[in-house]
C-alpha cells in the first residue's frame, strides 16, 4: 500500500516537473492573454467550459500590425526573427533604448531620457487616455523607436492603435481634394478608421516640399479638431522649416487635450540639444 502511494506520489512529481520543464520555444508561443479556462488559436479564444463560446484574441491586432510594420520594426531594432508573444515589442524597444543610453554616454542632451520617462508615464496613465506627445529632432535619434514602442504597447494592452505614415497622410489629403468621387470616398473611409483609434502614431511628419506640407498638414489639422484619441507624433521639422502649415498643425498638436473633464497639456520632447545645432 505504502509502495503504491509512493509511486503515485512520484508519478505526480514527475508530471509536475515535466510540465515545468516544457521547452521555452513551445512555451513562448502560448498566447499570454489566455485566461485559465481558455485556449487561443492565434485568432480566437475558445472557452474550454462553454463549448463553442469564443472571443477575438486581444493580440490579434498586435500580431497583424507587427506583420504590417515588420520592416520599420527591424530598422528600429526589433528583428523579424523575434517571436512577438515571447518578446513584446515595446519591452524590447524600450529596454534597448535604455541600454544604449546608459549613463548618458552617447548624448549630452536630455531628450531621449525624457522621452523614455514620458513613455512609461503615458503607459501608466493608460495608453489612449494620456496627453499628446510630440518628439522632434534630427533623423536617426530614435524618435520612431519610442513611437513604435508606444504603438505596440497600446496594442499589447488591447487598445485600438495604428501608425499613419507621411505617405498615408498625403494620400488622404490628395483624396480629399480630388475630383474623383471614389478617391474622395476612400479618403473619408480612412479618416473614419483613424477616428476610431485610441492612439495614433503619426510618424515622420513633413517634407521639404512646402506645397505637399500645406495640403497634408491642413488635413491633419482638421482631423485633430475632430479626434478624441491620443496622438504620438515624430518629425524632423523644426519651426519654420516646415512652413506655416507645419506651424499651424504643430499648434493644434500641442493644444491641451480634454478627456473626461481633465485638461492634459501636450508635451514636446526635443531630441537634439544645443550642442548639435552648431553649424
Ligand atoms: Zn490569444
Ligand 1 midpoint to CA 88 (Å): 14
Our CA angle for 146, 152, 207, nearest 5°, is 50
Q: Does residue 12 have a pLDDT over 60?
A: no
pLDDT confidence tier of residue 272, bands split at 50, 70 and 90: confident
State residue 4's pLDDT score.
52
Q: What are 227-246's pLDDT values in tens digits?
A: 999 999 999 887 667 678 88
* Region 176-202 average pLDDT: 96
Residue 45, number of CB atoms within 10 A of its CB? 22
CA of 158 to the centre of ligand 1 (A): 11
Q: In this predicted structure, what is the pLDDT of residue 50?
A: 78
Q: What is the pLDDT of residues 59-113, one digit of tens each?
A: 999 999 999 999 999 999 999 999 999 999 999 999 876 665 554 434 456 788 8
3-state secondary structure 88-133: CHHHHHHHHHHHHCHHHCCCCCCHHHHHHHHHHHHHHHCCCCCCCE
> 65 C-alpha to center of ligand 1: Å?
15
Report d(CA 268, CA 115) in Å as an integer: 9
Distance 85 CA to ligand 1 centre (A): 9
Per residue in 132-166, pLDDT tens? Answer: 999 998 887 889 999 999 999 999 999 999 999 99
* Distance from the alpha carbon of residue 86 to the mean position of ligand 1, in angstroms: 12
Cβ burial, residue 26 (10 Å; 0-12/13-18/19+): exposed
Q: Which CATH superfamily does the domain covering 62-271 fall into?
A: P-loop containing nucleotide triphosphate hydrolases (3.40.50.300)
Angle at 11 between CA 7 and CA 17, to 5 degrees: 145
Residue 107 Cα to ligand 1 midpoint, Å, equals 40
Asked whether the beta carbons of 168 and 197 are under 8 A apart, the reply is: no
**pLDDT of 251 above 80:** yes
- φ, ψ (nearest 5 deg) of residue 202: -90, 105
Spacing, Cα 114 to ligand 1 middle (Å):
33
Surface-to-core class of residue 265, CB atoms within 10 Å of its CB (0-12 exposed, 13-18 middle, 19+ buried): exposed
Percent of the chain at pLDDT exceeding 70: 81
For ligand 1, the distance from its centroid to the CA atom of residue 42, given in whole angstroms, is 5
Q: How far apart are CA 268 and CA 239, in angstroms?
A: 13
How close is the Cα of 66 to the center of ligand 1, in Å? 15
* pLDDT value of residue 21: 47
Residue with cell 516640399: 209
**How far is the centre of ligand 1, averaged over its atoms, from the C-alpha of 56 (Å)?**
8
User: How much distance in Å is there from the Cα of 28 to the middle of ligand 1?
Assistant: 12
* Of 21 and 194, the one with more pLDDT: 194
Query: In angstroms, what is the span from residue 46 Cα to ligand 1's centroid?
Result: 9
Higher pLDDT, 123 or 208: 123
- pLDDT attached to residue 99: 64
Question: Binning pLDDT at 50, 70 and 90, where does residue 254 land?
Answer: confident
Tell me how far the alpha carbon of residue 260 lies from the centroid of ligand 1, in angstroms.
Answer: 31
Domain ranges within the chain, ordered by starting residue: 2-57, 62-271
Q: How far is the CA of 167 from the centre of ligand 1 (A)?
A: 32
The residue with cell 479556462 is 37
Q: Could you tell me whether strands 133-136 and 230-235 are parallel, antiparallel, or unpaired per DSSP bridges?
A: parallel
Amino acid at each position: 500500500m505504502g509502495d503504491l502511494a509512493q509511486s503515485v506520489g512520484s508519478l505526480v512529481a514527475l508530471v509536475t516537473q515535466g510540465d515545468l520543464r516544457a521547452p521555452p520555444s513551445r512555451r513562448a508561443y502560448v498566447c499570454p492573454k489566455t485566461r485559465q479556462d481558455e485556449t487561443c488559436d492565434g485568432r480566437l479564444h475558445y472557452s474550454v467550459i462553454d463549448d463553442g463560446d469564443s472571443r477575438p484574441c486581444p493580440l490579434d491586432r498586435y500580431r497583424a500590425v507587427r506583420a504590417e510594420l515588420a520592416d520599420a520594426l527591424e530598422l528600429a531594432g526589433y528583428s523579424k526573427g523575434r517571436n512577438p508573444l515571447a518578446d513584446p515589442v515595446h519591452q524590447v524597444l524600450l529596454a534597448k533604448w535604455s541600454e544604449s543610453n546608459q549613463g548618458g554616454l552617447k548624448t549630452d542632451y536630455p531628450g531621449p531620457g525624457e522621452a523614455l520617462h514620458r513613455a512609461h508615464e503615458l503607459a501608466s496613465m493608460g495608453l489612449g487616455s494620456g496627453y499628446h506627445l510630440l518628439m522632434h529632432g534630427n533623423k536617426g535619434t530614435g524618435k520612431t523607436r519610442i513611437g513604435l514602442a508606444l504603438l505596440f504597447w497600446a496594442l499589447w494592452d488591447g487598445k485600438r492603435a495604428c501608425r499613419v505614415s507621411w505617405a498615408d497622410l498625403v494620400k488622404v489629403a490628395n483624396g480629399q481634394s480630388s475630383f474623383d468621387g471614389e478617391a474622395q470616398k476612400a479618403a473619408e473611409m480612412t479618416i473614419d478608421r483613424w477616428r476610431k483609434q485610441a492612439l495614433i502614431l503619426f510618424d515622420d511628419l513633413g517634407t521639404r516640399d512646402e506645397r505637399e506640407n500645406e495640403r497634408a498638414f491642413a488635413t491633419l489639422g482638421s482631423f485633430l479638431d475632430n479626434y478624441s484619441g491620443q496622438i504620438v507624433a515624430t518629425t524632423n521639422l523644426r519651426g519654420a522649416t516646415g512652413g506655416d502649415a507645419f506651424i499651424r498643425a504643430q499648434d493644434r498638436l500641442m493644444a491641451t487635450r480634454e478627456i473626461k473633464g481633465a485638461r492634459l497639456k501636450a508635451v514636446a520632447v526635443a531630441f537634439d540639444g544645443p550642442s548639435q545645432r552648431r553649424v
